[in-house]
Structure 1
Amino acid sequence: MEDRAQGLWNPLLSAEDQDALKPEAHAVSYPKGATLMKINEHSDYVVYLRSGHVKSCTPGTIFGIHGPGSMIGELAPLTGEPRAADLVALTPIEVLHIPGDVFLKLLESNPQIHLALTRRLAKRVRELGEAQEESFLTSERRLARAILRIMDSGIGTESEDGLVIAGFTQSDLADLARISRESVSAVMQQFKARKTISTGRVKFTVRDTTAIEALAMRRDRSLI
């Protein structure tokens, strides 16, 4: 788990890069539950997540979970189109608000940041394709993939029992996995019986990371 987290937490902007954006860019703190962007909103600023975690979502669907070092909302200044999703803080966060024109100048002047951002966008496109493939997977594997995405975001806390993930209800898991809440409940019971996961109040603990990873990466051939 530590190796995965280290790979995902490579920040897009160094401290020097962030300092160079001042005074045009401003650091802002938000509490858990705050909405930073709203779907169909016409704005072109970009958010750089300095600490904490956020989710991009629409009612009934969670598209992604973003951790420290992520640039979010970058399509708006690139395309001029309205926001495609809400952006909501899962934890207390600190962000850097970057005006759209400043963001575009940053890409023009820094090829390394441009390339890194392009790679992250390519990863998102791939994830969208994988989300469409999930219609061919069982509820069990779709939930395992959703849990793996949460694990990969770095939001969990290591404990003696495993990786503790707090703040996610069964409805949240259903939105992320794109299955019903009833299916989440049934699959979680299976995971608990296998001692893969244990549950608590608005939290769960991944006790067998390898089992979740293996299940998330397999396809259900009988449904293809």
Structure 2
Amino acid sequence: MTTVRIAFDKELVLSGHFLLKHLEKPELQRLAASARLAYFRPGAVIFQKGDPGDSMMAVIRGRVKICSHSTDGKELVLNIINKGGLFGEIALLDGEPRTADAVALEETDLLVLDRSKFVPLLNERPAVALQLITVLCKRLRQTSEHLEDTLFLEASSRFARALMRLADVFGKPTPGGLKLDIKLSQQQLGCLVGVSRESINKLLGEWQRNGVIAMESGRITLLDRDALEEIAEANG
């Protein structure tokens, strides 16, 4: 971790975040005084599973991968946090060690909120606590869906659903279709779905030939979402 390279007004950043935008100015000033700005290069580890859970992070710029690894080194990508998103909230609330790894996918600036300063705010402002509970519920739903997909769906259906979820977050409308504004390698896509890179390569090639998707400079564009939805539900 290094000092953030771009100048940010911490109070302004906090006031614009969905979780904190309803706070009064004195509360924002108090949080801003204790918040830290941090910069991570692409591929840098922000924290690892088992590290002390003493803070929560908000992404100001960049993207963060939340992942877990098996004892033999296999990686499973649990989530990708975009600009404006939060992560580290579970450990922040219960004070237990981190439950997964967090890695910067690109140049990333974070706002770090320490547990000792943030938890008292939750006692004072129930509305903030309710917003955070909403974030946790969304995470739980995503985890449940991910587990069900892994247990019950074939690789093609899992990958189709993963692409649609990515499109919901990173999709940018273009004349040709919905372009994913995130560049992930086939290995990373495989880790996101829980299948091999070779399987991802085969599916991408098949879907390109069938006009379901297009690939350009490592970025995927969804050309026929209806067809992708049919694949996703084929054995769902």
1:85/1:194 CA distance change after superposition, 3 Å = same
2:80 corresponds in structure 1 to 65
1:214/1:93 CA distance change after superposition, 3 Å = farther
Q: 2: distance between equivalents of 1:219 and 1:106?
A: 47
Among 144, 151, 154, the alignment partner of 2:160 is 144
Larger Rg: 1 or 2? 2
1:41/1:158 CA distance change after superposition, 3 Å = same
Structure 1 residue 133, shift from structure 2 partner: 1.2
Q: Deviations 1:119-142 (Å, cap 9, x if unpaired)?
A: 111111112111221121121110
1:115/1:32 CA distance change after superposition, 3 Å = same
Corresponding position: 1:55 with 2:65: yes
1:119/1:214 CA distance change after superposition, 3 Å = farther
1:51/1:177 CA distance change after superposition, 3 Å = same
Q: 2: distance between equivalents of 1:34 and 1:72?
A: 16
Among 23, 26, 29, the alignment partner of 2:36 is 26
Tell me the TM-score normalized by structure 2: 0.79
Q: Number of aligned pairs?
A: 211
State how 1:1-224 maps to structure 2 within 5 Å: 11-14=18-21, 19-59=29-69, 60-134=75-149, 135-154=151-170, 156-162=171-177, 163-213=179-229, 215-216=231-232, 218=233, 220=235
Q: Supply the RMSD in Å over aligned alpha carbons.
A: 2.5
Which protein has greater RCO, CA pairs closer than 8 Å, 6+ apart? 1
1:6 corresponds in structure 2 to none
Structure 1 residue 76, shift from structure 2 partner: 1.4
Structure 1 residue 207, shift from structure 2 partner: 2.3
Structure 2 counterpart SS, 1:64 = strand
Amino acid at match of 1:45: S
8 A Cα contact 2:65 2:103, kept in partner: yes
Q: Is there any run of 5+ residues in structure 1 with no aligned partner, and where?
A: 1-9
Larger mean CA deviation between 157-166 and 68-77 belongs to 157-166
1:7 corresponds in structure 2 to none
Q: Deviations 1:67-101 (Å, cap 9, x if unpaired)?
A: 22222111113222211111111232221111111
Structure 1 counterpart SS, 2:33 = coil
Structure 1 residue 48, shift from structure 2 partner: 1.5
Q: 1: distance between equivalents of 2:201 and 2:192?
A: 14
1:43/1:126 CA distance change after superposition, 3 Å = closer
8 A Cα contact 1:11 1:68, kept in partner: no
Q: Which runs of 4+ in 1 moved over 4 A?
A: 15-20
Structure 1 residue 219, shift from structure 2 partner: 5.6
1:114/1:212 CA distance change after superposition, 3 Å = farther
Amino acid at match of 2:34: E
Q: Deviations 1:13-47 (Å, cap 9, x if unpaired)?
A: 33967554121112223232222111211241111
